[in-house]
Chain A
Amino acid sequence: MKRFAIGTAGVALSLAAYAPNPVRAHDYAVGPLKIGHPWARASPPSAKVGGGYLAIENTGPEPDRLVGGSTEGAARVEIHESSLADGIMRMRERTDGVAVPPGQTLEFKPGGLHLMLVDLKAPLKQGDKVKATLVFERAGTVAIELQVQGVGAPQPAATGHTRH
C-alpha cells in the first residue's frame, strides 16, 4: 500500500506554510522538480471521480518518483494511466507511482497519465481552484492548486501556460 494519500490530507493541507515557491503564475516547484499548470476537468453532477493533469519537470541530476497525493476536493488521489489498444480503453492505477527521470518532463494529460480524484466531495466546477498536494519520494511534498476547466476539456486553457 504505497499510496500516502489517505489520512494525510489534513497534514498536507497544513503544509500550506511549506510555501509552494511559485515560479510563474501557475507553476510550482519543490527541490529540482517544476510542476507546470495543474488543472482538472469539471465533473458532471453525478460523477464520483475527476481527472487531474499537470507536467512534472525534473531539472535535477537524480531520479525521483511521484508516489501519491491528496486533495481537499476528494477522499483520495490515485495515480492512474489510461491507454488505448485495439480500440479498447483501459485505465489502471500505478500503485508504485511513476518515475520522473532526471532531465525529463512527465506529462499528465487526458487519455494518458492522470491524477484520479476518487469520491469527489462535490462536483468540480469550471473556474474553481482545488487545493491538492503531491508527494515525491525524494523531493517530498508540494502544495498545488488544480484549476478546473470545462467538462471534457482536451487540454488546459491557453492562458499562462507555457510548454517547454
Chain B
Amino acid sequence: MPVLKWIRYGAWAGVVLVSFVGAAILLGWWQVDGPGRSPAGRAAVQGVPAIGGPFTLVDQTGRTVTDADYRGKPLAVFFGFTHCPEVCPTTLVQMANLTGKIGAAADPLQILLITVDPERDTPEQLALYLQSFDPRVVGLTGSRQQVDAALAAYKAYAKKIPTENGYTMDHSASVYLMKADGGFRTMIDYHEDEASALEKVRMVLR
C-alpha cells in the first residue's frame, strides 16, 4: 500500500524537522540567555553602558561633594535648571510622587538635581528653589567645567540657547537610576507612565 508508506515517510520527516527546530532553539537559548553566553553578551542583555562616574560639584549648602559621598545609596540623578517652569518642577514632583507611593522603602533613595546652568544657579539660588520640593532632594552646581564633567560622565546633553532677553537651556530630561555601588541601573524617560517608573525605582532600591 504506497499510500501508507508515504504517510510513514511524512511522519518521520516531521519528527526530524521538530527535533531540528528544538535543537536550534535550545542552542540559541544556551548562547543568548543560558549558561553558554559570553560575559559581553551578558552585559548587553542587562544593558550596562558606562553611564555615571566621578564628579565633583557643590551642593545647595555650599559644600563640595563628589560621587563617592553618595556611595552606598541608590541615586536618582537628573539635569535641569531653575529658570525652567516646565521640566524641572514636573520631574521633582514626579519623583516625590513615586517615592511617596513606595513609602519608607524609598528612604534610601537620594535624589540629585544637577544644574546645567551654573552661571545662574548658585548654591543659594538652588537652596531657595528646592524649598518648594521634597527636602531630601540635593541640588548640585559648580564651575562650568565641573558641570560639564558631570554631564559627560552621564552621557547627558545640555546646550545654552540665546534668546532675545538672555538664554535658555536645552537639556536631557531623563532620570538616571544608579545603584548603591555607583553603577548604572536604568533610566526613566520624561513621558514614562507611572507604573513603569514605579517599577524602575523599586528595582534600583532592591
Answer whether A and B are interacting partners. yes
Point out residues on A near B: beta carbons under 8 Å: 41-51, 76, 82, 84, 87-93, 95, 110-111, 114, 116-118, 150-154
Question: How many angstroms between the C-alpha atoms of A48 and B120 in the bound complex?
Answer: 11
Q: Of B85, B94, B124, B168, which is within 8 A of A47 by CB?
A: B85
Interface contact A91-B168, CB-CB below 8 Å: yes
A88: which of B83, B90, B92, B172 is its contact (CB, 8 Å)? Answer: B172
Residues of chain B contacted by A49 (CB below 8 angstroms): 83-85
Partner of B86, one of A45, A91, A151: A91
B191 and A89 contact, CB distance less than 8 A: no
Choose among B92, B130, B190 the residue that contacts A152 (Cβ–Cβ < 8 A): B92
Contact A84 B191 (CB under 8 A): yes
How far apart are the CA atoms of A117 and B83 in the complex, in Å? 11
Q: Contacts A111-B87, A152-B92 given: A42-B132 contact, CB under 8 Å? A: yes
Which are the 9 A-B pairs with shortest beta-carbon distances? A152-B93, A46-B128, A152-B89, A51-B85, A44-B132, A89-B173, A44-B129, A45-B128, A90-B170
Interface residue? B46 (CB, 8 A): no
Partner of A114, one of B85, B89, B163: B85
The residue from A45, A87, A90, A116 contacting B131, defined by CB atoms under 8 A apart = A45
Contact call A88/B85, Cβ cutoff below 8 A? no
Q: B86 and A118: CB pair below 8 A?
A: no
Contact B125–A84 (Cβ < 8 Å): no
In the complex, which residue of chain B has the Cβ closest to the Cβ of A151? B132
Contact in complex: A48, B170 (CB < 8 Å) = no
The verdict on B157 contacting chain A, using a C-beta distance below 8 Å, is yes
B202 part of interface (Cβ distance < 8 Å): no
Contact with A along B144-169 (1 / 0, CB 8 A): 00000000000001000101110010
- CB A155 to nearest CB in B, in angstroms, measures 11
